[in-house]
Structure 1
Amino acid sequence: MTIRRIAEEQRLSGAVMGGGIIWLAGQVADDPTLDAEGQTADILAQIDALLAEAGTDKRALMSVTIVLADIRDAPAMNRAWDAWLDAGAKPARMTIEAALVDPRWKVEITGVALAP
C-alpha cells in the first residue's frame, strides 16, 4: 500500500492518504486572534487546500469532528460552517467541547474523506 503525506510539519502531516481514504489532522486557525466564526472560516479554507492537494474537495468528506474550546461558540462556528457546507454533500459530524493546546484557539477540526 502506498501512503502519501501532505503538508508535513515537525510533528505531523496535515493529511495522510492511503487505501482510498484521506485523514485530516486537527486543523486550527492560522490567526488565533480571530473570533470563533473567523477561526472556523480560516480552518475550512485550510481543509479546502489540503483536499485540493489530495486531488479532491469537501464533497468527499465522510466524517468531521469539530472541537470547540467553549461550546457557547457553536452558533458562531455554525455560521461559518453553513456558509461553507455543500448542501448536497453533508458529511457526518460531531461537535464536542474540550480544552485546546493553545488557549487562543477556539476551534479545531479534523475529518476523513474518500480519496479520488
Structure 2
Amino acid sequence: MDIRRLAEEERLSGAVVSGGFIFLAGQVADNATLDAEGQTADILAQIDALLAEAGTDKRALLQVQVILADITDAPAMNRAWDAWLDRSAKPARMTIQAPLVNPAWKVEITGVARAP
C-alpha cells in the first residue's frame, strides 16, 4: 500500500495520504495569541495548504472534528468556519470541548478527506 506523509514534523505528519484518503493531524493555530475566530481561520488556511499539497481542496473533506478548549467559543469558531465553508460540499462535522495541550490554543481541527 502506498503511503505519502505530508508536512512531517518531529513527532507527526501534518497529513497522511493512503488508501484513497487524506488523514489530517490535529491542526492548531500558528499564532496562539489570536482569538478563537482568528485561530480557526489560521487552522483552516493550514488545512487548505495540506489539501492542496495532497492534490485536492476542502470540497474533498468527508469528516471534520473541531475541538474547542472552551465550548463558549463555538460562535466565534463558526464565524470563521462559515466564511471558509463551501456550501455545496459540507463535510460531516462534530464539535466538542476538551483541554488542549497548549493552554493558549483555543481550537484544534482534524479530519478525513478523499484523495484525488
TM-score by length of 2: 1.00
One-letter code of the match for 1:20? G
User: Partners of 2:38 and 2:88 in 1: how far apart?
Assistant: 24
Task: Answer yes or no: is 1:109 the counterpart of 2:90.
Answer: no
User: Partners of 1:17 and 1:42 in 2: how far apart?
Assistant: 22
After superposing on structure 2, the runs of 4+ consecutive aligned residues of structure 1 that deviate more than 3 Å are none
2:77 aligns with: 77
User: Partners of 2:89 and 2:110 in 1: how far apart?
Assistant: 17
Note the residue ranges of structure 2 that are not aligned, 5 or more in a row.
none
Note the residue ranges of structure 1 that are not aligned, 5 or more in a row.
none
Cα displacement string for residues 65-111 of structure 1 (whole angstroms, at most 9, x for unaligned residues): 00000000000000000000000000000000000000000000000
User: Partners of 1:71 and 1:18 in 2: how far apart?
Assistant: 33
1:95 aligns with: 95
User: Partners of 2:17 and 2:94 in 1: how far apart?
Assistant: 22
2:15 aligns with: 15
Identity %: 81
Other structure's SS at 2:74 match: helix
RMSD: 0.2
